[in-house]
């Protein structure tokens, strides 16, 4: 069957994004494929480096020097990467528990524990990578750091540190990041805050001395 055949093509060829099979009578079969345009470097538990697509598909193993030529995903590692299969995030420690407290008069109220897993970090990275692709700026980003899901960061080339805050409104954040960078001069470097936490009106740029 065609669906099964397409699935086998995608599994066997890690850089194939989609596959479609058409039959033209009497004796022709056409196979249409779409490839991933770009891949990203992610580290495994054994410190080896692998290329991964924005959908989390492992593409191939690379050496450390080659990894510097790709956008690096930091703050999460993968375990047992297999070419052609989905990346699995490595839970290095017990899931991180974060508690928010709020003082009310003399009584301290504690909110429910918020658990953040390694898979949450991986999914946040894939979300950001997908939005970078949608805005056609993948080649400009050096690193995507998801170590803290509430303080996500990008390194935009050698010029800008970009603060994204949490995963909310990522469409708007990446779009406004691109627009802001386009307006800055080539010689400028600094911190671009688009987290909308401390500054809610829009991107806030702080030049480096």
**Residue 84: strand, helix, or coil:** coil
Instruction: Using a pLDDT cut of 70, give the percent of the chain over it.
Output: 86
Q: Distance between CA 208 and CA 64 in Å, rounded?
A: 30
Q: Element (H or E) spanning 103, and its range?
A: strand 101-104
pLDDT digits (tens, 9 = 90+) for 93-110: 544 444 444 444 545 555
pLDDT digits (tens, 9 = 90+) for 183-193: 887 778 899 99
- Residue 86's beta-bridge partner residues? 57
Segment 34-40 mean pLDDT: 90
Does a cis peptide bond (omega within 30 degrees of 0) precede residue 26? Answer: yes
Pairing status of strand 49-52 against strand 40-44: antiparallel
Joined together, the tokens standing for residue 1 give: 């069957």
Instruction: Using a pLDDT cut of 90, give the percent of the chain over it.
Output: 66
208 backbone φψ class: left, alpha, beta (φ>0; ψ -120 to 50):
beta
Per the prediction, the chain carries an average pLDDT of: 87
What φ, ψ does residue 180 adopt, rounded to 5°?
Answer: -65, -45
How many helices (DSSP H) and strands (DSSP E) are in the chain? 4, 15
pLDDT digits (tens, 9 = 90+) for 199-209: 667 788 888 76
């Amino acid at each position: 069957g065609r669906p099964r055949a397409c699935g086998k093509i995608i599994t066997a060829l890690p850089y194939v994004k989609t596959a479609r099979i058409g039959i033209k009578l009497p004796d022709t079969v056409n196979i249409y494929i779409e490839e991933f345009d770009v891949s990203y470097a992610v580290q495994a538990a054994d410190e080896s480096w692998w290329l991964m697509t924005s959908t989390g598909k492992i593409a191939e193993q690379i050496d450390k020097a080659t990894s510097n030529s790709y956008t690096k995903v930091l703050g999460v590692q993968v375990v047992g990467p297999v070419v052609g299969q989905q990346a699995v995030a490595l839970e290095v420690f017990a899931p991180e528990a974060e508690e928010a407290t709020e003082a009310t008069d003399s009584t301290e109220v504690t909110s429910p524990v918020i658990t953040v897993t390694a898979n949450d970090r991986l999914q946040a990275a894939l979300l950001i990578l997908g939005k970078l692709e949608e805005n056609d700026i993948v080649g400009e980003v050096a690193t995507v750091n998801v170590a803290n899901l509430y303080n996500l960061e990008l390194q935009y080339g050698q010029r800008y540190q970009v603060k994204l805050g949490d995963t909310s409104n990522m469409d708007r954040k990446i779009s406004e990041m691109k627009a802001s960078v386009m307006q800055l001069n080539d010689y400028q470097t600094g911190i671009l805050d688009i987290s909308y936490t401390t500054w809610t009106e829009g991107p806030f740029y702080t030049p480096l001395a």
